Structure 1
Amino acid sequence: MAAVSGSPVAEASPSKEEKPEEPPLDSDNDDGVKPDVEAEGGNEAVSDPSMYRYIKEDLFTSEIYKVEIRNLPKFTGFNDLKKFLAKHSLNPHKIKLFGKQTFAFVTFKNEEERDKAMKMVHGMQWKGQVLSVRLAKPKADPIQRKRKQQEGEGAGGQPPSKRTEGDETEEALSVQIANVVTPLWNVPYEEQLRRKEQERDWRHQQSHVAMAVCAEREIQQNVLFSGTHQTISYTEYRNKCEFLISVGADGEDKTIGFRLGKYKGGSCAVVGPADTPETYEGHWKQLTVRTTRTKQAMAVAFFNPQKLGEEEVAALKTSMKKYFTEGEGKDSGVTSLYFVREGQRTSPNLEDLPCELVAGEGSIHEELLGLKFRISPHSFFQVLYSAVGEWAQLDEDSTVLDVCCGTGTIGISLAKRVKKVIGIELCQEAVEDAKVNAKLNGLSNVEFHCGKAEDVFPNILNALVSPNLTAIVDPPRAGLHSKVILAIRRAEHLKRLVYVACNAKAAMNNFIDLCRAPSNRVHGAPFRPVRAMAVDLFPQTMHVEMLLLLERVDYDSQQQTSKQ
């Protein structure tokens, strides 16, 4: 069975495990480079049918629901167009602006939304401009475009993409995949830490926050930077890996591993982790593996049935179960085997797909800090505890709000120190795990709520009356929703906040909104950053986890002092 590589998949790079959310709308045309309108599906788009093989009814892509909006007001910004469409109850999937932002390609999730947009926007007047909307051709496949180019360059000789066999090739591939997945693999660890501090420039980033606050509030403050906290394990430290299933570097062998390059760059070749062109056919797409210190392992296979019937799919699941329970895979240590059927889906988020247990137990268990935790297929499991607990300054009268709590690990690890822990999490599966984890550890002072943080958090926060209230937030890469930040600012009985960020740059707006002076939009006394620390959870890569402690400022006193 061949591997599916036609749908876009996340690049393989060690990064924070997170609860996937709807990806941000594309706005990557601000680099001053002339856009490839032909590739984007304009009137001059190529007519070669092979460029559009990825458009099949059982492979989801918003490119088949694409329109072109013309005659936009000059220099229209991405956010301008996004807000304009939202004002008319239109929800685009992607937006790309061109021609000094006077026209745009916009995709939608289904035909109904696309047709609604065409009907509403065509002929509408916006800032003195009468808009026009028409159907647009899908973007040409970058893999096929590169292949056509290579065929031209390699005419009369061996195709440039064809590799020779032998030890030298295998060695080269191992270096290539190491450079993709663990780019610092050949750098001494002390030098890795130095590079991370230099690259991320944490001191500068914290100074940036402090200066922004000082400029608005006219107060002086210092942030204590604790440097980069070193990890204990430099290798084999991940408990979860996601592997792509696709063609190998030789263009033929089916391989489970990591992609050598970016799809949009014209590469989808995969190299196996031991070695540390697409057909839009086949079925096996991705494999997620999670392991624990208790010697348990969970494998989740993502499968696209394409044109297969129910009997054929059932036979494949039976075969997979037999392989891991009776066949050669029996010695792999898999204790929990799941099958995820993709098929025709309208969401790019993998956690929206139901997991079917094929063999073994429904979950795996981890032991950490003397506590036990259950982990399910879609659950997020955070492993950062000691510094968070130290900075939170908790006592027996404390109430802890654990926002974006995943399986509840941070809150549960602190529960015995405090009066109450309240967790908030979007993923229902993770919430169920969190409740079980509280029972496993004999905790009765912990409760969990399922929902979007921006919907649940404000109501919970407003209902709490506690003399010692602390919030710990561990959001996805994009940071907290602005509604959550505004709710935190309004709740002045919340005096201390520990922010766990896997991407401090992306969270910078959160930091500034927490610390800026009150305004018509931001109410309540501001916070000030007092401690910051980078934790190296991902050796051999440039990724780090960022901890930031913020404390509420007695703003009225500060203002009176500055006036005297």
Structure 2
Amino acid sequence: MEGIAIEKRNLDKTKQELIVEKEGKVEGDGKQQESESGGVEENVKKDGVQESESKNGKEQNSNEKAMQKEGDNGKEQNSDEREMQKKGDNDGGDAEEGGHKTVKKGAETEGTRPGQGKAKESDPFAYTKREEFTSENFKIELRGLPRHYSVADLKKLLNETLQLGAHKVKPAGHRKNWAYIAFRDQPARTRAMEVLRGYQWKKATFSVTTAKPVEDPLVKRMGERGNRTNKGEEDKDGDSQMSIAERVTKSVTPLAHLSYSQQLEKKQKDVHHILRKFGSDLAHTNPKLARLIQWQKVRRGGQVCEVDPIVPSPQIDGYRNKCEFSIGNNPETGQATVGFRVASYKAGSMCVAPVSHLKNIPLKMKEVVEEFEVVVRESGLAPFSPLTHEGVWRQLTVRTSLTGALLIIAMIHPQELTETVLGELKQTIVQHFTEGSGVHVGVKSIFFKAYAQKERGGQQPLQHLWGDHHLTETILGNTFRVSPDAFLQVNTLGAEVLYQHVGDLANLDPSSVLLDVCCGTGTIGVCLSKRCAKVYGVELVPEAVEDARHNAETNGAANMKVWTGRAEEQLGQMLSHCRELRTVAVVDPPRAGLNSSVVIGLRRCSELERLVYVSCDPASAVKNFLNLGRPESKQYQGSFFFPVRAIPVDLFPHTPHFELVILFERWDKEKWTKIMEGNPLPRDEEYFKRIPSLQEGKYGPAKHKNGSDSNTKRVLDDENCGEAEAKKTKSE
């Protein structure tokens, strides 16, 4: 550790010289200490947990991550949505105590360096003045976009057709006809403005202006909190009166105070709300389905399809097999802490809270966190601050399996550390868990990643330091190899229940072929391979594809083949192997859902009869659901799909999240006409007459008794009509 200590003093000296140069003066005797308080990288997800619930292994694309790192936080993800992008003030000021950095409580506000005050951190645009690259300095506002377009199509226009080299593309919002485009330098922005001004695309004409950078969300929120305090306003959320442990519990496991039966009841209501709204939107999108949707609602309590009771998780506590822990300062103790953010950077916090009390984390994982915290504190190196971009320690990822194996990934910012010091740091981590006080935990694999803030985390490969190269997990009697970064459902026992229901809805037989879209490590395909003739999978992440192929071979799934690449690009080749076979698709996409081109490709596959959609965020996936059910058009060719049955499965106890599995079937007018005619209810026509011209399939305005204009959607949005009719029919 001697080399690390020397290097740390050198870094402090270098930073001191830079401060003197920038400020033009030396405060005191020139021995100004650098505050290294802070948090972790800006794109670490809220609470450190929810990314994997949003498909953390299938991350958001790198451009979206970069946007977050550069302060462009208008997004929802990912990623993803992928454990934790996912509230608190942190006091600063450095002191050496017990061989590690601590922070004097009350000395400074969160992220402020001693001796400098708040000048730098009070400027929400300070990040644009650093020497580090940010595309926020080279942004334009592109207006006049067509009413219907996809971000993928716009990116293709900018970077392939026009060769403009756009660095980021960010739509302004739903139904808004402009977007923000960022570039890498001023010449690129100037050229883009010249090319795009007056350019015509999809019968629309562009206009373009320069755009201002967005405010740093943390600095902005800190300023807002200060203004509220000055005005004597109370904290609406009451967070300022809560302990750090209470705040992180509220953020990470907000349902933990409820009994498990109460949690399930709440999630069931959420499912009903989402599907009820989806049904109304689908009737508006496809008038041909309006009568059937109303028929379903009358019989199914206002729902567009049959909805099963939520399936509980087999394991309620300690179920997570992967967590990404932030490394930052605990505002109550002032010490470097490995845990979860109490809120996101966007929400205005870098505070990190301990996790030993959280119900969803297994005991072994908590022990790893405690031991890694020892390494961090004894190193003398501070956590990385997304506000000042100082500090080293970023994040700790821990994965475990039902076999008890533990894999860890340590992530740092290299700053100006030499290769020698980096080597000592790696050796320290390995020794602690293989020979030191952390050996009792039983870590089997250790990985390391060093990357700077201006780089994308995914660009730097993981370095294997010690132990096994993969994790092994068992699901439904099959053995799976899982790479450090690969996606796997975070609740293994819950995943077994989920896959069983997916298989039941798929209704596979020896004459069918399964398309496993976004297959990850091949878990769904392998588990269902014995039920069908062929399994064709596609996955974007190369390491996951290697795992999927290995897993297919290991488990004897010789009928399974996996392609590497984007689903929208590989789907055509996959479908060419499905001729004259009954085709069923299972899609398990990231949090944001499928690219629209994938939905278009699936609809064009005439052999595809059934589609099982697995969503960890149904509210975000509704766009996909609607596109599956749109009327046939030039863009959406092929007969549309209709939702038949939905099964919610709880994979995330103590949180609001759940998986929703929906079975869609290709539209069969003759089949549904017979079903409707064969199962009449006394008041069917009474409801149908409320929908104008419904029998002709028209969807226009109607005059109600009060003379106001309305339409079918207004009728279908009546949430109580189906429930009331169902109760009345039952009583009769």
Could you say which TM-score interval applies, normalised by the shorter chain?
Answer: 0.7 to 0.9
The answer to whether 1:365 aligns with 2:472 is: yes
Cα deviation, residue 402, structure 1: 0.6
Alignment of structure 1 residues 388-403 onto 2, 5 Å: 388-403=502-517
The answer to whether 1:207 aligns with 2:270 is: no
Alignment of structure 1 residues 469-548 onto 2, 5 Å: 469-548=583-662
Q: Secondary structure at the match of 1:293?
A: coil
Residue 312 of structure 1 corresponds to: 421
Aligned 8 A contact 1:403 1:473 in 2? yes
Aligned 8 A contact 1:398 1:466 in 2? no
**2: CA distance, partners of 1:128 / 1:408:** 45
Q: Which is worse superposed, 514-523 or 474-483?
A: 514-523
1:351–1:388: structure 2 CA closer, same or farther, 3 Å change rule?
A: farther
Counterpart of 1:125, as a letter, is: G
Counterpart of 1:93, as a letter, is: K
Cα deviation, residue 67, structure 1: 2.9
Q: Secondary structure at the match of 2:310?
A: strand
**2: CA distance, partners of 1:375 / 1:421:** 20
**2: CA distance, partners of 1:317 / 1:469:** 50
Match of 2:406 among 297, 321, 324: 297
Residue 336 of structure 1 corresponds to: 445
Cα deviation, residue 59, structure 1: 6.2
Q: Deviations over 1:15-69 (max 9, x none)?
A: 2333103265879499xxxxxxxxxxxxxxxx95443564687966433x43354
Q: Secondary structure at the match of 2:269?
A: helix
Residue 10 of structure 1 corresponds to: 45
The answer to whether 1:235 aligns with 2:317 is: yes
Aligned 8 A contact 2:172 2:180 in 1? yes
**1: CA distance, partners of 2:628 / 2:180:** 35
The answer to whether 1:117 aligns with 2:155 is: no
Alignment of structure 1 residues 180-329 onto 2, 5 Å: 180-200=251-271, 201-208=273-280, 211-212=283-284, 215-217=287-289, 220=292, 222=296, 223-250=305-332, 252-276=334-358, 279-329=388-438
1:314–1:230: structure 2 CA closer, same or farther, 3 Å change rule?
A: same
Aligned 8 A contact 1:477 1:502 in 2? yes
**2: CA distance, partners of 1:203 / 1:103:** 30
1:247–1:445: structure 2 CA closer, same or farther, 3 Å change rule?
A: same
**2: CA distance, partners of 1:397 / 1:145:** 59
**1: CA distance, partners of 2:438 / 2:618:** 41
Instruction: State the aligned residue count.
Output: 526
1:249–1:128: structure 2 CA closer, same or farther, 3 Å change rule?
A: same
Aligned 8 A contact 2:313 2:651 in 1? yes
1:557–1:4: structure 2 CA closer, same or farther, 3 Å change rule?
A: closer
Cα deviation, residue 246, structure 1: 1.2
Cα deviation, residue 6, structure 1: 5.3
Q: TM-score, normalised by structure 2?
A: 0.64
- Structure 2 gaps, min length 5: 1-7, 9-35, 77-117, 297-304, 359-384, 490-494, 678-694, 698-732
Residue 487 of structure 2 corresponds to: 380
Cα deviation, residue 268, structure 1: 0.9
1:409–1:270: structure 2 CA closer, same or farther, 3 Å change rule?
A: same
Q: Which is worse superposed, 53-62 or 218-227?
A: 53-62
Aligned 8 A contact 1:146 1:266 in 2? yes
What's the C-alpha RMSD, in Å, of the aligned pairs? 3.8
Report which of the two structures shows the higher radius of gyration computed on alpha carbons: 2
- Structure 1 gaps, min length 5: 31-46, 162-168
Aligned 8 A contact 2:39 2:326 in 1? no
Aligned 8 A contact 1:60 1:344 in 2? no
The answer to whether 1:62 aligns with 2:100 is: no
**1: CA distance, partners of 2:280 / 2:447:** 46
Counterpart of 1:235, as a letter, is: D
1:415–1:558: structure 2 CA closer, same or farther, 3 Å change rule?
A: closer
1:95–1:374: structure 2 CA closer, same or farther, 3 Å change rule?
A: closer
Q: Secondary structure at the match of 2:634?
A: coil
**2: CA distance, partners of 1:405 / 1:442:** 17
Residue 36 of structure 1 corresponds to: none
Q: Deviations over 1:69-118 (max 9, x none)?
A: 49x56x998979994973744435254769x989986433x33xx53232
Aligned 8 A contact 2:150 2:596 in 1? no
**2: CA distance, partners of 1:188 / 1:494:** 42
Aligned 8 A contact 1:408 1:434 in 2? yes
Aligned 8 A contact 1:57 1:344 in 2? no
Q: Deviations over 1:229-254 (max 9, x none)?
A: 11122211111111111121238311
Match of 2:540 among 417, 426, 429: 426
Q: Secondary structure at the match of 1:186?
A: coil
Cα deviation, residue 554, structure 1: 3.1
Cα deviation, residue 438, structure 1: 1.4
Q: Secondary structure at the match of 1:274?
A: coil
Aligned 8 A contact 2:340 2:352 in 1? yes
Identity of aligned residues (%): 32
Aligned 8 A contact 2:54 2:617 in 1? no
**2: CA distance, partners of 1:56 / 1:314:** 32
Residue 41 of structure 1 corresponds to: none
Q: TM-score, normalised by structure 1?
A: 0.82
Q: Which is worse superposed, 351-360 or 174-183?
A: 351-360
Aligned 8 A contact 1:246 1:254 in 2? yes
1:171–1:205: structure 2 CA closer, same or farther, 3 Å change rule?
A: closer
Q: Secondary structure at the match of 1:289?
A: strand
Q: Secondary structure at the match of 2:320?
A: coil
1:559–1:540: structure 2 CA closer, same or farther, 3 Å change rule?
A: closer
The answer to whether 1:354 aligns with 2:461 is: yes
Q: Secondary structure at the match of 2:323?
A: strand
Q: Deviations over 1:529-562 (max 9, x none)?
A: 1110111111111111110001112358889998
